Amino acid sequence: MRPAVNQTLKRKLAHTLDLPSAILLDQATIHLLGDSEAKIVNHQGLVQYTSACINAQSAQGMIEVVGSAMEIVSFSSSEIRIVGKIRQVMLK
Domains and CATH numbers, the chain: 28-91 (2.60.40.2000)
Q: What dihedral do alpha carbons 21, 11, 19, 34 form, nearest 10°? A: 20
The verdict on pTM exceeding 0.75 is yes
Q: What are 29-42's pLDDT values in tens digits?
A: 999 999 999 999 99
Straight-line distance from the first to the last Cα atom of the chain, in angstroms, rounded to the nearest whole number: 27
CA angle 55, 56, 61 (to 5 degrees): 105
Q: In this predicted structure, what is the pLDDT of residue 1?
A: 47
Q: 46 by DSSP, 3-state: which?
A: strand
CA 48 to chain centre: 14
Question: CA 82, CA 73: separation in Å to the nearest integer?
Answer: 6
